[in-house]
A and B are shown apart, each in its own frame.
Chain A
């Protein structure tokens, strides 16, 4: 009796595994192609225009482990006095594991008090998010953060 139970259990397991494998395939096929590191680099080059970003001054804040990729809180804070001559012109956020590498471009006008923005973003998969800050003196600073996603965006229909 016990042996029989085990056998049917094994059978069910094999069946489940087979079903899971079969199900996984169409899901993978409809999944949009992720941005490659190359396309993310190309998007960043549009901002960098030949300049080299220096790590520092920028603080990218995202939960390192996010349950749901559909809405991940993100904030970017740049150390800057925000005076007329020494200020942050723009903040750019990139996610190379998303179908499109650009998350957003944020241009800070003359009335912005702090070099800081916060929003909620979508992350398709576990990946590295990069923030660039372009200063008034045209120097570029950066920060990068690896974010683990449990449930990815783009897969829910």
Chain B
């Protein structure tokens, strides 16, 4: 797909709310626009974004064309144990992009 950027601190204290910033490069083509010849441009958006932490869901977002290009999401994960924070974006073409980060909890 494209480039994805995830920002999350590497270490946290147990019980801390850790901010996550997830950004991905994607046109989020709405399907409402037309090209120079007046032909409609096919819709191509990221439909779903899922973030899991140690296998459990943090956020599952169902996105619509009303989400701006290069979808950017900010949310918070509850630091409970050291584990992997995984991110997955799925677009209309079925392309899946994954990213992950390690969170160490003390």
Contacts and interface: CB of A to CB of B under 8 A. Distances in A.
Determine chain B's interface SS by DSSP, over half rule.
strand
Contacts, number: 113
Contacts of B62: 104-107
Interface in B48-106: 52-54, 56-69, 71-80
B52 A111 contact: yes
Interface string A82-103: 1000000000000100111011
A109 B57 CA distance: 5
Interface residues of B, number: 37
Contact of B59 (A30, A71, A106): A106
Interface of B: 16-18, 30, 32-36, 38, 52-54, 56-69, 71-80
Interface of A: 30, 32, 70-72, 75, 82, 95, 98-100, 102-114, 116-123, 154, 156-157
